[in-house]
Structure 1
Amino acid sequence: MTMISVVTLPLMWTLLIISCIGEKYVDLSHDISEESFHWPSVGPFSRRTVARGYTKEGYWNEHYSFCMHEQTSTHLDAPCHYAEGKWFVHEIPLNHLMGPGVIIDIRDKVADDPNYELSPDDFMSWLDVHGPLPDGAILFIRTGWSSKYKNIEEYFGMDTTNISHFNFPGLSVGAAQLIVSHEAAFGRRVFAVGTDAPSIDHGPSVDFRACETLFGANIYGIQAVTNLENLPTKGFHVLVLPMKIRGGCGAPARVLASLPETNGVPDSSPVAFSGLILQSFVLLILNGIKSSLA
């Protein structure tokens, strides 16, 4: 085998490995339409056709105007929503709109109590298993409630527009306090808390104290997400893209998650691990060739 072949073969293996490593993307957002989630006390999304058809000049022209509440469909709640003097939507720093994602799954608790609140014990148990939250974490509470999204009465757990009759899970004040104090305890800050339910606070709440606790520390909320079942407990990255509404207390948002995968398999799998071993082996070969040529 020629020296060129000896050098080229490992390089080809390395390029092959790199080409197999990509990103899996998961859309955590619901569509925005006339059927979208909205609080029963406010109007739904509405759209008016401005133009749709061919113009006299011969080109196609289609556009609409729309009206909707800030908290429509999948949306961001800015800290100012429940904490005076805290960030509006346009003031949230860009680096706080992206970060490592984690999921705390409470579906088993919700099955027995639709108004269940993620408790301090739930939060501490998660830390015992998975360790401290990563710095800049975007934490999602998985309740399984997104499966009810298309039926507003099931999603809010009610048969009336009286908000005192809401029934859906959320976050307890005690757990919210632990999330806020996570930075002091571990030196790692939480940027946002999201849920697949209508609100961070559970349905029966009348004072929204969990939101008030988080927002007072400039930790924003993300409501009505979906597709959390397509993500691992941790090891993924989140990008939150709200409409940049100046002075907004909330905004509809496109929320995206990404995680590395090798050949269509998440990087936590044995296949990905084997790929890393092979990559290391190739690097050792290249180093050996370099030494022999010296």
Structure 2
Amino acid sequence: MRGRVKILSLLPSATEIVFALGLGDQLEGVTYECDFPPEARSKPVVSDTALPQDRRLSAKEIDDFVASSMDRREPIYTLDRELIRRVQPDLILAQDLCRVCAVPSGQVEDALSELGCSSQVLSLDPQTIDEILEGILQVGQATRTEHLADEIVAVLRGRLGHVRARASGLPSVRTLCLEWSDPPFVGGHWVPGMVEMAGGTNLLNGQGKPSKRVGWSDVAGAAPEVVVFMPCGYYLEEAETEVEGLFDVADFAQTPAARLGNVFAVDASSYFSRPGPRIVDGLEILAWAIHPEAFPEPPADRVVQVR
């Protein structure tokens, strides 16, 4: 693509990548969740949620709504087709990794076909941190900003290498990352690899595998020494409120992490749920939670040690 590229981003992580590449002025539409950098909030919303917005839903209500929508094969997200028709984008950044997280690229391509648009759809579907960085390079290639993408990735790789090197000689700590509370899910995709990189032994799931529903008896049986509560799409204040309820669950309260005060709530939306440049900040948060003796404490607006 040459000249100005009209971009639609259907992923908060992709929006962050676009701005990091200096292309914010070419972004013609974003999702309702795109809030970083703050300038993203001023962009037209092309993808919205079908979740009820009249009140705050509990974790179980959100899970029930999503499960019901998937059973009925109803979309969880909506697309502003009129905006797509009007913009006639050159490039749409989408995903097929998780129907629950964002609009799947198949839904996008169906809309483009109906509208007669010939946009390029770039699907970003990382399963590991390395693939997250590769996604930045892919967006750079699609927008002819390869040099800047290379520079960004080089800096991020340097930070990753620093964490790896510092954690390599430390004893491994049994670590559980909870991505949802009702019902309980453990983190998947890139999260297990982050735990291993930060000097932990990830419990109940493996790198590159989807997030996984577990039982509280599984959590107790895993005997985590550290629990990091990272509910998908939640910011720190929401996560901190939600995590308190976990201590009412007997199987959770008896874990070594709960008994020893090694339970952490994090800003998951910013640093764990979105596979973009800030995922490396998430790794640094994890490294401190797992090995506070070896890593600097992150800013207070990113993580809280609950009890």
What is the TM-score when the length of structure 2 is the normalising length? 0.22
Q: Which has the larger radius of gyration?
A: 1
- Structure with the largest fraction of helix: 2
TM-score by length of 1: 0.22
Structure having the higher strand fraction is: 1
Greater relative CO, 1 or 2 (CA 8 Å, sep 6+): 1
